[in-house]
Structure 1
Amino acid sequence: MIKTGLFENITEVSEEARNAFIGYLEEIQAEKGYKMEKAGEVSNYLFYIAQGSARSFYIRDNRDITVSFSLEGEFVTAMHSFITRSPSYETIETLEKSLLYRISYENLQRCFQEFQDLERVYRIILEKYYIALEEQMIFTKFKSAKERYLELMEKKPKIIQRASVGHIASFLDMTIETLSRVRSKI
């Protein structure tokens, strides 16, 4: 099934906890465009991307606005919806053929009740999510178009290769034309 390295980048967990968590995982072989979560629905799963990539976006004024990208080795969900059990504002879809694993909210809660070390892992996932969210806010509000693109190249260079130009421009909060000008000067 899933590689045993699932938690190694986060923290050590007991073998028993790891096996319990892995036992609840459902494997999904997803094609490009697979909707992991949908706007207007309650987010019921926490996903782990074993292979591939995904983007989170919402629609405002008939515009598709990309808010984040996720790559191999990362967990992703519509976090607000997943935690509050309320309808999601965002949709999450795969950018390419991907190997995903997911655990339901209910099964994750069962794991937490039985294994406190899994609660620690989840807290670390939430901390990483919060940091990424705050960095994204600073990223779009205080950095120039060139700085935003260079930072994306530095932190997630695979996105440049995998996402469409439109998705990248939307994520960087610029037009495709601005992105083209920035790229031509680098």
Structure 2
Amino acid sequence: MEKISGMFDLFPGLSEEAKNAFSGEIETLSYEKGELLEKEGRVCDHLYFIIEGSARSFYVRENKDITVSFSLEKEFLTSMHSFISRKPSYENIEAMEKSKVARINHKALLKLFEKHHDLERTYRLILEQYYVTLEEQLIFAKFKSARDRYLDLMEYRPKIIHKASVGQIASYLDMSIETLSRIRAKI
């Protein structure tokens, strides 16, 4: 429970009562490398927090695996569109290594919001961070060269380079494995 309480350090304004209520609804699970936390075609019912390990979100189109995002320790993740809209997800979430996560059910979270408005504010902050990351990723993909995208990844999220496969990184950066290999050889 000690590492789970670390998630609350990200939100210092949260009351002890809200923390305890939230902790009471948390389920802790372990996943092996390659195991799916969420599967496309199903409604995503959980918001996750990575205690240990890492995960990636991806979808498959025309037999091609396309990585959308990476999540590391002390980060929240979910299939946001599905979690909010309650529609089936178009993405999968996969553990990239042996991982331990805490998760909370969508219905339980909504019930907590009714009693604890500071939790609702905390959730808004999580959504804002998700939005900022998504917007940065869109700008990143449209306006930066392949080399600059890789250099940014090295600077701002270096752990991903050590945890993800070359194919996953290339897909995330929207380039071929060959292009990524050429860039890496020149750095």
Band of TM-score, shorter chain = over 0.9
* TM-aligned CA deviation for residue 10 of structure 1: 3.0
Residue number in structure 2 paired with 1:25 = 26
Aligned residue pairs total 186
Q: Is the 8 A contact 1:149 1:172 kept in 2?
A: yes
> One-letter code of the match for 1:29?
S
Q: CA shift at 1:131, angstroms?
A: 0.6
Write out aligned runs for 1:1-186 (5 A).
Answer: 1-3=1-3, 4-186=5-187
- Once the two structures are TM-superposed, the CA of residue 5 in structure 1 deviates from its matched residue by 2.1
CA contact (8 A) 1:57 1:92 kept: yes
C-alpha RMSD over aligned residues = 0.8
TM-score, scaled to structure 2: 0.97
Consecutive unaligned residues of structure 2, counting only runs of 5 or more, are none
Deviation track 1:25-55 (CA, whole Å, cap 9, x = no partner) reads 1010111112111110000000000110000
1:92-118 deviation line (CA, Å, top 9, x unaligned): 011000010100001111111110000
Larger mean CA deviation between 32-41 and 2-11 belongs to 2-11
User: Larger deviation: 65-74 or 11-20?
Assistant: 11-20
Q: State whether residues 43 and 78 of structure 1, in contact with CA within 8 Å, keep that contact through their aligned partners in structure 2.
A: yes
Q: Which stretches in structure 1 are left out of the alignment for 5+ residues? A: none
Compared CA separation, residues 2 and 33, structure 1 to 2 (3 A): farther
Distance (Å, rounded) in 1 between the aligned partners of 2:95 and 2:134: 20
Q: TM-score, normalised by structure 1?
A: 0.98
Could you tell me whether the CA contact under 8 Å between 1:7 and 1:13 is conserved in 2? yes
Aligned residue for 1:8, secondary structure, equals helix
Deviation string, structure 1 residues 55-92 (Cα, Å, up to 9, x no partner): 00011121100010000000000000000000001000
8 A Cα contact 1:53 1:69, kept in partner: yes
Identity %: 61
